[in-house]
């Protein structure tokens, strides 16, 4: 088999490696690009059988069946490289006389692909760690709180609308942010709206935005509303129970149609947000009295999550204090610990302001404490006074000859509480049955060992 000189010049000018073999797999030609790219001199290959050098080379298949292989990927064991090749049979007078392969080394591409896969795996692990870190601040030893966090984790990846229930200060926005950060929308905005703080006159302009010149005194060029700012992200509607029926109707329309218009505008703007609502109100009772729309309730009440108050999760105090004090140490540049006596005062307090109150108390104490540890005098007076009041109640004397009037009153009181707990489905129902405040109820539970 001979190649014309002019054809050899063309082959030598190519930047891709060229290999030509005869019908019996003898290597008859490699161009200079082949030698340079693969580091093999021509005299080391020409004349040898490719079947001996590279038994599994794909060019052998072309010699067998006479069919070309276009855009073919293969691995050359003799050279330890991945190649991309076009392999064509050589036909002369209708007879197969050999084959030619034009190849490109793509080992770097494969290396980059492997590197990309490693980065993907690493990224996935980091994402899982971040997902876990997000919910670490919500760790709990209390079953009801653990259940709330479990539900939040489950629904974070979905698009389901979530309704968070809980008293003021329990951490509803912390929950909402954790859900957002663990969701596919984490790279977009989290926009929190306190519905109670929006005056009815400004509701539409703040929520929907406005066009240039839509009303007297409006900003030149218009303004995006909070809904547009949350585009692609999460919209947190806090204090949803405080909206008037008029504003509830406006919000419902937007949530149903997933469209809104800026004030003074005519073009509809699509709403692409994940909705998370929150309230400290009993929306069921509000519906019964007509203070909250049924249709809006069912639009929001897809996945309800009930967050317990701090007084019902006292075992979590060490975790919460550790987390809060860690943040305060960075903020104030000092590390302060709690003595056992201070911790016991915290444990016996009912924390009506919940986690928010705990955080405020610890920050106040940290800001003014001159030592590396807290003492009882550092604790706010309101908490100390309650502690002293409980001590006085615990030292009520028992009169000789019987339990006396104070003892009889306490015994009757304890029996009434036990009976209320027995016949009531919830503690809230028991409190209503007894006709006392929630704070007094939990103080008495602790006093009589009923917690």
Q: What percent of the chain has pLDDT over 70?
A: 88
The pLDDT tens digits for 277-290 are 999 999 999 999 99
pLDDT at position 83 is: 87
pLDDT at position 125 is: 59
pLDDT at position 399 is: 47
The pLDDT tens digits for 29-38 are 999 999 988 8
For the ranges 95-104, 291-300, 431-440, the lowest mean pLDDT is seen at: 431-440
Nearest to 90 by CA among 80, 101, 99, 82: 99
Domain map (residue ranges) of the chain = 5-105, 137-308, 312-395, 401-451
- With b for 16 or more beta-carbon neighbours within 10 A and e for fewer, the 19-34 pattern comes to bbbbeebbbbbbbebb
For the ranges 148-157, 352-361, 374-383, 415-424, the lowest mean pLDDT is seen at: 415-424
User: How big is the chain, counted in residues?
Assistant: 451
312-395 sits in which CATH class?
mainly alpha
The pLDDT tens digits for 387-443 are 665 555 555 454 444 555 666 677 778 888 888 888 887 888 888 888 788 888 888
Longest dimension (CA), the chain: 130
* pLDDT greater than 90 at residue 15: no
The pLDDT tens digits for 134-156 are 676 688 999 999 999 999 999 99
Name the CATH topology of 5-105. Beta-Lactamase (3.30.450)
- What does the alpha-carbon distance between residue 34 and residue 103 come to, in Å, rounded to a whole number? 8
Name the CATH topology of 137-308. Rossmann fold (3.40.50)
* pLDDT greater than 70 at residue 214: no
Averaged pLDDT for residues 71-97: 89
Q: What count of other Cβ atoms lies within 10 Å of the Cβ of residue 442?
A: 19
Model pTM score: 0.59
For the ranges 106-120, 248-262, 359-373, 436-450, the lowest mean pLDDT is seen at: 106-120
Give burial (CB, 10 Å; 0-12/13-18/19+) of 433: middle
pLDDT at position 170 is: 94
pLDDT at position 128 is: 56
């Amino acid at each position: 088999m001979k190649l014309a000189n002019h054809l050899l010049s063309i082959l030598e000018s190519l930047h891709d490696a060229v290999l030509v073999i005869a019908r019996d797999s003898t290597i008859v030609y490699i161009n200079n690009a082949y030698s340079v790219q693969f580091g093999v001199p021509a005299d080391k290959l020409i004349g040898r059988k490719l079947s001996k050098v590279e038994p599994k080379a794909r060019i052998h298949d072309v010699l067998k069946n006479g069919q070309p292989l276009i855009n073919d990927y293969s691995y050359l064991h003799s050279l330890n490289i991945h190649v991309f090749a076009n392999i064509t049979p050589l036909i002369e007078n209708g007879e197969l006389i050999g084959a030619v392969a034009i190849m490109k080394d793509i080992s770097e591409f494969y290396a980059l692909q492997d590197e990309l896969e490693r980065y993907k795996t690493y990224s996935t692990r980091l994402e899982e760690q971040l997902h876990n870190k997000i919910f670490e601040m919500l760790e709990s030893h209390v079953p009801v709180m653990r259940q709330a966090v479990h539900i939040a984790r489950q629904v974070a990846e979905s698009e389901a609308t979530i309704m968070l229930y809980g008293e003021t200060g329990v951490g509803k926005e912390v929950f909402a942010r954790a859900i957002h950060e663990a969701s596919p929308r984490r790279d977009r905005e989290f926009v929190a709206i306190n519905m109670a703080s929006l005056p009815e006159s400004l509701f539409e302009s703040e929520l929907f935005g406005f066009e240039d010149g839509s009303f007297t005194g409006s900003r030149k060029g218009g303004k995006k509303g909070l809904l547009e700012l949350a585009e692609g992200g999460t919209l947190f509607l806090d204090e949803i129970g405080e909206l008037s029926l008029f504003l509830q109707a406006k919000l419902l329309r937007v949530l149903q149609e997933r469209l809104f218009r800026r004030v003074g505008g005519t073009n509809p703007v699509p709403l692409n947000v994940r909705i998370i609502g929150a309230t400290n109100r009993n929306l069921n009772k509000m519906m019964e009295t007509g203070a909250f729309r049924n249709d809006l309730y069912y639009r929001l009440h897809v996945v309800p999550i009930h967050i317990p108050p701090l007084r019902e999760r006292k075992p979590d105090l060490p975790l919460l204090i550790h987390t809060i004090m860690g943040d305060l140490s960075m903020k104030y540049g000092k590390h302060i610990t709690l003595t056992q006596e201070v911790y016991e005062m915290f444990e016996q307090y009912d924390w009506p302001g919940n986690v928010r109150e705990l955080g405020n108390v610890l920050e106040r104490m940290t800001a003014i404490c001159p030592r590396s540890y807290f003492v009882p005098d550092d604790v706010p007076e309101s908490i100390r006074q309650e502690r002293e009041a409980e001590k006085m109640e615990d030292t009520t004397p028992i009169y000789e000859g019987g339990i006396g009037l104070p003892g009889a009153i306490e015994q009757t009181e304890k029996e009434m509480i036990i009976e209320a707990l027995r016949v009531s489905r919830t503690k809230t129902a028991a409190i209503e049955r007894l006709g006392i405040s929630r704070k007094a109820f939990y103080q008495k539970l602790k006093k009589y060992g009923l917690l």
